[in-house]
Structure 1
């Protein structure tokens, strides 16, 4: 099988690419990146792209399954419009090109609370993306809804504080939907979900993410 990945240089994406390369079920992995990152590795094809002209790279967006874990923060993007461009527009265009190229399966890393009707910008953005990708009619669409994500070596002070608070709250049974999960386990769940869930549409909640992250082939 062949996999195509965007968002492969992020915390979860790096884990995902590494695991795909180690997985004998995948004979080729194509990663679309903004700048060179991975170097030469067996089975890996790294394509440097301009996400503003993604359609020009459609020849590379072909395979059995597409994985999307692209995303940025409001701070890093520099504003809501810029974040929407990355988190919604780029991923939707990638999905549309993949579908038009005959890719039948799509695995999307979304977020707990994603809802197109939400009053919260982030949740609304994620919900809109999900709704729009659903309209592409993939044969298999898997959407993962993790809570907090534990990124190893994170340099985001606010994120580190939030993870500590969530862990403390989880210990007394609060905010279980936001219980943190490591990028390693989340990447495992993304791959496992492709093989485990064959429904046309499957939304994978945190409990299931934790379960399938231990799924062995």
Structure 2
């Protein structure tokens, strides 16, 4: 099989890439990134692209499964418009191109409580993206809705605070469904889910993700 990854330089994407490179199921891995990466492997092919210029790279989007790990924060993006462009626009366009190029399997990392009806910007954006990719015609579509993720060396201040708060409540026996999850567990689940789930659309929420690790 041939895997395609966007967001391979992020916390989960990095874990996913390393695991797939060691997985004999995959004979080739293509990653699409915006800048040079410091990794080499006989199975790896790196495409440095401008996501705004899809005509230059859309013919390269060919394979068996697309893993979408792309995402940013409002702080890093600088505005809601910029974050929407990355988290929704780039991911949807890449998924649409993959569908058009007969990539049959698509795995998307969404978020907890994603809903197009949400009053919160982030979860509404993720919900809108879920609805959009569900309208595409992938043979197998797998959407992961993980709890807050534990990213090694994370500089996301609100995320770090959130993890501490939830862990505190977990110790009191509360909010177990929202127990923070390590990115390596999510990455492992993404790989296994492609192998074991039947064709169709699947949403894997919260601690149910651990069933695939």
Q: Structure 1: how far apart are the matches of 2:173 and 2:145?
A: 19
Deviation at 1:55, TM superposition (A): 3.5
Deviation at 1:208, TM superposition (A): 1.9
Match of 2:154 in 1: 154
Counterpart of 1:162 in 2: which secondary structure?
helix
Q: 5+ unaligned residues in a row in structure 2: which ranges?
A: none
> Relative to 1, partners in 2 of residues 1:22 and 1:57: Cα closer, same or farther, differing over 3 Å?
same
Q: Structure 1: how far apart are the matches of 2:103 and 2:130?
A: 17
1:53 aligns with 2:53: yes
Deviation at 1:177, TM superposition (A): 3.2
> Relative to 1, partners in 2 of residues 1:54 and 1:177: Cα closer, same or farther, differing over 3 Å?
farther
Match of 1:173 in 2: 173
Q: Structure 2: how far apart are the matches of 1:70 and 1:177?
A: 24
Counterpart of 1:142 in 2: which secondary structure?
strand
Match of 1:192 in 2: 192
Q: Structure 2: how far apart are the matches of 1:208 and 1:197?
A: 14
Cα contact 2:28–2:43 (8 A) shared by 1 = yes
Cα contact 1:15–1:187 (8 A) shared by 2 = yes
Q: TM-score, normalised by structure 2?
A: 0.97
Matched residues, number: 213
Q: Structure 1: how far apart are the matches of 2:160 and 2:176?
A: 18
Q: Structure 2: how far apart are the matches of 1:9 and 1:120?
A: 27
Q: Structure 1: how far apart are the matches of 2:40 and 2:56?
A: 23
Cα contact 2:111–2:123 (8 A) shared by 1 = yes
Match of 2:144 in 1: 144
Q: 5+ unaligned residues in a row in structure 1: which ranges?
A: none
Superposed CA RMSD in Å reads 1.1
Deviation at 1:157, TM superposition (A): 3.1
> Relative to 1, partners in 2 of residues 1:64 and 1:145: Cα closer, same or farther, differing over 3 Å?
same
Counterpart of 1:62 in 2: which secondary structure?
coil
Deviating 4+ runs (over 6 angstroms):
none
Q: Structure 1: how far apart are the matches of 2:195 and 2:28?
A: 17
1:37 aligns with 2:37: yes
Q: Structure 2: how far apart are the matches of 1:123 and 1:38?
A: 32
Q: Structure 2: how far apart are the matches of 1:140 and 1:176?
A: 29
Q: TM-score, normalised by structure 1?
A: 0.95
Q: Structure 1: how far apart are the matches of 2:159 and 2:54?
A: 31
Q: Structure 1: how far apart are the matches of 2:158 and 2:67?
A: 28
Q: Which moved more, 1:162-171 or 1:125-134?
A: 162-171
